[in-house]
Copies of this chain bind each other. A is one copy, B any other.
Amino acid sequence: MEFKEAKEKFISTWGALGSLWGINKAMAQIHALLFISPEPLTMEDIMEELGISRGNTSMNLRGLMDWGIVRKVIVPGERKEFFESEKDVTELSRQIAKERSRRELQPTIKVLKEISSIPDDGSAKTKEFIKQTKAMHELTDTADTMMNRIVSQEQNWITKTLVKFLK
C-alpha cells in the first residue's frame, strides 16, 4: 500500500467511526485530514482534498473548534485562515471525553437521578422502575467518573499504575 491509498483509508475509516464519538462524517473526515497533515491547512485545501462545499467546510470546522480539537492558526503575512488539529492523542481523548461527558452523560445522569426518585406507591411496576433506574443511575455515574479520571490531567501514580496494569 502506498501513501495515497493509506491516506484515503484513514480518512474514510475515521469518517465511518465518527458515530462512535457522536459527530458527522464530514466533520470526522476534516479532523482526520488535519490530524495527519504536517502543516496547517486552509479551507480551500480541505474543500479540495475532500471534495466538499465551502459552506459544509465552514460549518464543520466550527463544529470541530466547539469540540476543542481544532484551532485557527494565524500565519503572518497570509490573509486566509489556517486550521490545525490537536496532534497529541492523549490530549485529544481528554478533550473528547470531557465534551461527551458534558454534552451527553451529565444530562442523562441528571434525568436518571430525577426519575428514580419518584415516590414508591408499592406497585410492582413502580418498584421495578425505581430499582432499575437507580441501578442505571449508579452505573452511568460511575462510568462518567471513571472515564474522566482515566483521561484526566491529574493522573497520579496510582492511576498510572492502574492504567499500566489494565493494559
Contact = CB atoms under 8 A, between A and B. Distances in A.
Interface of A: 1-3, 6-7, 9-10, 13, 17, 19-20, 22, 35-38, 87, 89-90, 93, 100, 104, 108, 111-112, 114-115, 118-119, 121, 123-129, 132-133, 135-136, 138-139, 142-143, 145-146, 149-150, 158-159, 162-163, 165-167
28 contacts: A1-B115, A3-B125, A6-B115, A6-B129, A6-B133, A9-B115, A10-B112, A10-B115, A10-B133, A13-B108, A17-B104, A17-B108, A20-B22, A20-B100, A36-B129, A36-B132, A37-B125, A37-B128, A38-B125, A38-B127, A38-B128, A89-B135, A89-B136, A90-B139, A142-B163, A142-B167, A146-B163, A162-B165
Q: Give this chain's copy count.
A: 2
Given A89-B136, A162-B166, A1 B118 contact: yes
A108 B10 CA distance: 9
A46 B14 CA distance: 36
Contacts of A129: 3, 6-7, 10, 36
Given A1-B118, A6-B118, 7 more contacts: A6-B115, A7-B129, A10-B129, A35-B132, A38-B127, A145-B167, A159-B165
